[in-house]
Chains A and B, each alone.
Chain A
Amino acid sequence: MKMLLKIFEKVSPAFGEGGKFNTFKPLYEAMENFFFAPSSRALLAPYARDPLDVKRFMSMVIVCLMPLLLASIYFFGLRIIAMLIVSYAVGGIVEVIFAVVRKEDINEGFLVTGMVFPLVLPPTTPLWMVGIGVAFGVFVGKEVFGGTGRNIFNPAIVGRCFLALAYPANMAGGYISPGSGHLGSILKYIAPSSVDAVSQATPLSLAKQGNLTDISDMFLGSIGGSIGETSAIAIVLGGVLLLLTRVSNWRTVFGVLASSALTAALLHRIDPDKFAPALWHLCAGGLLFGAFFMATDPVSSPVTNAGKWIYGVLIGVMTMLIRNFTGYVEGVTFAILLGNITAPILDEIVFKIRIRRLAGEE
Chain B
Amino acid sequence: MLGGRPAKVVKRQGEPDELYLPLSSERFLFSDICVADGQIVNDGDVLAKDPDNYAVPLLAPRGGKVNLNKAEGYIVLTDIKPPAGKVYVPEKHFPHVVQEMGSAGMKRYKLLSLGAWQFFYDAYSGQLPDPLGTPQAVIVSTLSLEPFMARGDVQLQDRLLQFTRGLEHLQSLLEYQPIYLVMPDVKSPFASQVREHIRGYAWAKIIQVPAKYPYDNFEILARGLGLKKSAGPVWSIRVEGILAIDRALTVSKPCLVRIVSIGGPAVRTPLHLKVMAGYPLQSIIDKYVTEPDARILTGGLLRGKVISPKQQLGLDTECRGLTIIPEHKEREFLGFVRPGWGRESYSGCFLSSLRKEFSERLTTAMRGEGRPCISCNFCEEVCPANIMPHLLHKYLYKDLIEEVEEARVDLCIECGLCSFVCPSKIELRGDFINAKELIEKEKEEIRQEEAKRQLQENNA
Contact = CB atoms under 8 A, between A and B. Distances in A.
Interface of A: 1, 4-5, 33-42, 44-57, 59-60, 105, 107-109, 146-150, 244-247, 249, 298-299, 301, 303-305, 351, 354-355, 358-359, 361-362
Contact of A52 (B301, B368, B372): B368
A45 B301 CA distance: 7
B345 interface: yes
Nearest to B382: A50
5 tightest Cβ-Cβ pairs between the two chains A and B: A53-B368, A149-B372, A37-B335, A48-B362, A362-B229
A5 B297 CA distance: 31
B421 interface: yes
Contacts of B370: 105
Contact of B420 (A41, A46, A59, A246): A46
Contacts of B335: 36-37
Contact of A245 (B229, B347, B364): B347
Contact of A35 (B302, B334, B350, B375): B334
B416 interface: yes
Given A37-B335, A244-B348, A49 B376 contact: no
A42 B421 CA distance: 13
A59 B350 CA distance: 11
Contacts of A301: 375
Nearest to B265: A48
Contacts of B367: 37-38, 49-53
A47 B230 CA distance: 34
A57 B367 CA distance: 13
B423 interface: yes
A150 B378 CA distance: 17
A130 to B, nearest CB: 25
A56 to B, nearest CB: 5
Nearest to B346: A50
A200 B349 CA distance: 38
21 contacts: A35-B334, A36-B332, A37-B368, A41-B328, A41-B364, A45-B430, A46-B419, A47-B297, A48-B365, A50-B421, A50-B422, A51-B345, A52-B367, A56-B340, A56-B350, A148-B371, A245-B348, A245-B353, A303-B375, A358-B387, A358-B408
Give the most central of B230, B349, B366, B406: most A CB within 10 Å: B349
B370 to A, nearest CB: 8
Give the most central of A39, A51, A53, A107: most B CB within 10 Å: A51
A359 B410 CA distance: 11
A362 B136 CA distance: 15
B9 interface: no
B368 A38 contact: yes
Contact of A246 (B349, B364, B406, B407): B349
A45 B328 CA distance: 15
A267 B367 CA distance: 50
A46 B302 contact: yes
B411 interface: yes
Nearest to B421: A50
A281 B368 CA distance: 41
Nearest to B417: A46
Nearest to A246: B347
A36 B371 contact: no
Interface string B362-398: 1111111111111111101000001110110000000
B339 to A, nearest CB: 10
Contact of A54 (B332, B337, B374, B420): B374
A28 to B, nearest CB: 13
Given A53-B423, A358-B407, A362-B228, A245 B327 contact: no
Contact of B406 (A1, A48, A355): A355
A36 B333 contact: yes
B337 A49 contact: no
B374 A53 contact: no
A355 B407 CA distance: 6
B332 A149 contact: no
Interface residues of B, number: 72
Given A46-B303, A46-B429, A303-B377, A41 B371 contact: no
Give the most central of B229, B331, B387: most A CB within 10 Å: B331
Contacts of A149: 371-375, 424
Given A37-B331, A303-B377, A42 B348 contact: no
Given A245-B349, A298-B376, A40 B366 contact: yes
A55 B349 CA distance: 11
B260 interface: no
Contacts of B301: 45-48
Given A42-B366, A354-B388, A359-B406, 6 more contacts: A46-B429, A50-B345, A57-B347, A105-B370, A148-B374, A304-B380
Contacts of A244: 348, 353
Give the most central of A5, A48, A298: most B CB within 10 Å: A48
Give the most central of A49, A105, A249: most B CB within 10 Å: A49
Contacts of B366: 38, 40-42, 49
B450 to A, nearest CB: 22
B333 A1 contact: yes
A56 B411 CA distance: 31
Contacts of A40: 365-366, 369
Nearest to A308: B377
Contacts of B347: 50, 52, 57, 245-247
B304 interface: yes
Contacts of B368: 37-38, 49, 52-56
Contacts of A37: 331-332, 335-336, 365, 367-368
B187 interface: no
Nearest to A49: B367
A47 B423 contact: no
A249 B343 contact: no
A26 to B, nearest CB: 11
Given A49-B368, A354-B388, A41 B349 contact: no
Interface string B221-240: 00100001110000000000
A361 B408 contact: yes
Contacts of A105: 369-371
A48 B345 contact: no
A52 B364 contact: no
Nearest to B403: A355
Given A40-B369, A354-B388, A51 B304 contact: no
Contacts of A247: 347, 349, 376
Interface in B112-128: none
A49 B371 contact: no
Nearest to B416: A46
A351 B377 CA distance: 13
B325 interface: yes
B429 A44 contact: yes
A47 B295 contact: yes
